[in-house]
Amino acid sequence: MNTPGEPVVSGAAPRTNPRNRAVYLYRRLAPAYDLLLGPVFPRPRRRALDLLAVQPGGDVVLVGVGTGLDLPLLPVGVRAVGLDLSGSMLARAQARLPMPGRQIDLVEADAVTWLRGHPGAFDAAVLTLVLSVVPDGTACLHAAVAALRPGGRLVVFDKFAPASGVSRARRIVNVVASRVGTDITRAWEPMLAGSGADVVREEPALRGLYRVVLLRRR
């Protein structure tokens, strides 16, 4: 790792990404992201990190770290890597650093590609509001699990379609949602299948619209 708080650029977003428009909008959100979404999710964010229970001296990767809203929730003594596709978002996260007692590096990269290049490197992983945003949520989850050491823990906080299926109304709403970079029709159970991780705990959040799920790599 680099000096604590020193940003790293490691493989910027490919121009051929099929969701370039969504990525563009995501980047444009950077100046207003904390104002718009910061007040909405503080309790489930805190709950997710509490469940993960990263220990001092542990290595943790935050996938889709965005503007770094999860960074202050990390305990003192951890080493962390924050991944994001957007340099604009990472610039906001960088402004939060340094954080005393924590070694935090920020990496601008495609999460799946980067994680696949670091198998078994981490004790824990955080996926906050990312599996519904990345082009392939299943690939992202599986890559994050593979980046954990055996027995490593991963926490997911996100919105997923009901296990009973996706309604016509939800599909209609998703036409608009997908244009701003999020997919509300993705189901959790198919993503989990074949990931190599087991559910330790699952809790509803925000009146059941979201879930907090703690996993452990086998």
Average pLDDT, rounded, for the chain: 83
122 dihedral zone (left: phi>0; alpha: psi -120 to 50; beta): beta
Each domain of the chain, given as residue ranges in start order, spans 7-123+130-165+177-212
The mean pLDDT of 121-132, rounded to a whole number, is 96
pLDDT at 21: 45
Report for 57-61, 175-179, 204-208: range of highest mean pLDDT = 57-61
pTM for the full predicted model: 0.82
pLDDT at 206: 84
**% of the chain residues with pLDDT over 70:** 76
- Evaluate if residue 17 carries a pLDDT over 80: no
H or E element, residue 48: helix 42-52
pLDDT at 33: 54
- Evaluate if residue 218 carries a pLDDT over 90: yes
- Evaluate if residue 165 carries a pLDDT over 80: no
Residue 187 is given by DSSP the state B
**In the CATH scheme, what architecture does the domain 7-123+130-165+177-212 have?**
3-Layer(aba) Sandwich (3.40)
Helices (H), 29-135: 30-37, 42-52, 87-94, 111-116
